Amino acid sequence: MKRIYFIAAAGLLFYATSLAAETKKPTAKWTCEEFLAVDEQFQPKVIYWSSAQTKAGKALGSAVDIEGAEKVVPMVIDDCKKAPQESFWSKLKDAWKKVEIDAKSLGKKL
């Protein structure tokens, strides 16, 4: 049974990677419209991956803040739907700033 999950996960990863490869642009240069063109089930994965990257395309860190990312996903999607011609990267950065401010006000560390 675990083998089936591994194969399915590998297939999904390949599909998401091929979608990103079709744009021939790093996500840091995507518009919201390009982000919204990604299948809805893969949009959170794009946000997770993009959140872990710097503008240079190098990994920012080895850990991913899942709790924070779960808050960022709907914010980015909603903001991008409101302004599809704007930068996906700026919407992502703005959403993370809001989550960090909220976390600090609650005394949590991200």
* pLDDT tens digits, 39-61: 999 999 999 989 887 555 555 55
CB proximity list for 53: less than 8 A, separation 6 or greater: 26, 27, 28, 59, 60
Other Cβ atoms within 10 Å of 9 Cβ, number: 10
For residue 107, the model assigns a pLDDT of: 75
Range of the domain at 100: 25-105
64, part of any domain: yes
- How far apart CA 57 and CA 75 sit, in angstroms, is 23
Does residue 93 register a pLDDT over 50? Answer: yes
Whole-prediction pTM: 0.69
* Percent of the chain's residues with pLDDT above 90: 45
User: Which phi and psi (to 5°) does residue 70 adopt?
Assistant: -65, -30
CATH number at residue 44: 1.10.890.10
The count of domains in the chain is 1
Does residue 62 register a pLDDT over 80? Answer: no
Whole-number average pLDDT of the chain: 78
62, part of any domain: yes
Nearest to 110 by CA among 70, 71, 67: 67
